[in-house]
Amino acid sequence: MRYLDSHAHILSEEFRDDFDAVLQRAEEAGVERMVIITTQPDEARRAMALAAADPRRFQAAYGIHPEDIRTVTEDSLKEMAEIAADPRLSFVGEIGLDYHWEKEMAAAQKELFIRQIEIARQVGKPVMVHSRDAHQDTFDILKEHHVPGVLHCFSGSAELAREYVKLGYYIALGGAVTFKNARHAKEVCAAIDPAYLLSETDCPYMSPEPVRGTRNEPANIPHIVRVMAQVRQVSEEAMAEQVWQNGQRFLGVTE
Ligand SMILES: [Zn+2]
């Protein structure tokens, strides 16, 4: 079986000491493709270098995260737009809205989100969207300023997921789908057209069962796809292949 990790922060601090071993374990687990999500310009440049060196294995994404709303400047947006235009970058993100951490900055977050969507449109790249406790505002913005993309670590309702799929958005599920109390993620997994499901770790965060509570890494993707298969009542092989093919379509790659 072959797997995709559509959202991995593998260049973050947490992987500095054993980066090669992490990649080795991913390979052994069959995780053949990873989208490296970055939140700082230097990190983005390292991800683009990796993607350029091994484009079958890595793709790079960069965007200004909503949690960084208090430090964003016109200069940082200008630099973001330059990186977005780099041909070695595949996605703009993660971008979006986070009302869990920065609710009082909602207006500024919305403005930053829309500006980065417009940059994505100009450079013709899909967006990787972060939305936390901001379901309606995120949906309204993506409906009005529509560009292709994926809702990462989706935690909204099955109804909302269906609305996104109608607009052509992919839905990425991670560790939460394996948690006993995560009703929403399982309902979403069961409810939407399976052609729009993607798998992700969001590592180093959000480890799935049975390794919940430890540092997450791309090699944990099979735990997530296994639960997706159970929820959809298909074989693990069929689920893995479906998600892999979705990933190929979404990532714009052909074999
Ligand atoms: Zn992330």
What does the alpha-carbon distance between residue 205 and residue 14 come to, in Å, rounded to a whole number? 10
Q: What percent of the chain has pLDDT over 90?
A: 95
**Taking 90 as the threshold, does the pLDDT of residue 253 lie above it?**
no
pLDDT, average across residues 184-210:
96
Determine the distance separating the centroid of ligand 1 and the alpha carbon of 60, expressed in angstroms. Answer: 13
Q: Judge contact between 56 and 87, C-beta under 8 A.
A: no
pLDDT, average across residues 196-217:
96
Determine the distance separating the centroid of ligand 1 and the alpha carbon of 128, expressed in angstroms. Answer: 9
What average pLDDT does the structure give for the chain?
96
Determine the distance separating the centroid of ligand 1 and the alpha carbon of 6, expressed in angstroms. Answer: 10
Determine the distance separating the centroid of ligand 1 and the alpha carbon of 237, expressed in angstroms. Answer: 27
What does the alpha-carbon distance between residue 91 and residue 247 come to, in Å, rounded to a whole number? 13
Determine the distance separating the centroid of ligand 1 and the alpha carbon of 239, expressed in angstroms. Answer: 23
What does the alpha-carbon distance between residue 184 and residue 21 come to, in Å, rounded to a whole number? 33
**Taking 80 as the threshold, does the pLDDT of residue 254 lie above it?**
no
pLDDT, average across residues 71-89:
97
Q: Judge contact between 165 and 150, C-beta under 8 A.
A: no
Determine the distance separating the centroid of ligand 1 and the alpha carbon of 167, expressed in angstroms. Answer: 22
Determine the distance separating the centroid of ligand 1 and the alpha carbon of 64, expressed in angstroms. Answer: 11
- By residue count, the chain amounts to 255
The pLDDT of residue 2 is 97
Determine the distance separating the centroid of ligand 1 and the alpha carbon of 213, expressed in angstroms. Answer: 17
pLDDT, average across residues 94-114:
95
Q: State both tokens at 31.
A: 């995780």
pLDDT, average across residues 15-35:
98
Burial class of residue 189 (count of CB atoms within 10 Å of its CB; 0-12, 13-18, 19+): buried
pTM exceeds 0.85 for this model: yes
What does the alpha-carbon distance between residue 233 and residue 124 come to, in Å, rounded to a whole number? 37
Determine the distance separating the centroid of ligand 1 and the alpha carbon of 58, expressed in angstroms. Answer: 16
CATH of the domain at 226: 3.20.20.140
Amino acid of residue 126: P
Determine the distance separating the centroid of ligand 1 and the alpha carbon of 8, expressed in angstroms. Answer: 7
DSSP string, 179-234: STT-HHHHHHHHHS-GGGEEE---BTS-PPTTSTTSPP-GGGHHHHHHHHHHHHTS
Q: How many domains does the chain fold into? A: 1
Determine the distance separating the centroid of ligand 1 and the alpha carbon of 155, expressed in angstroms. Answer: 13
Domain that holds residue 20: 3-251
> Tens of pLDDT along 164-174?
999 999 999 99
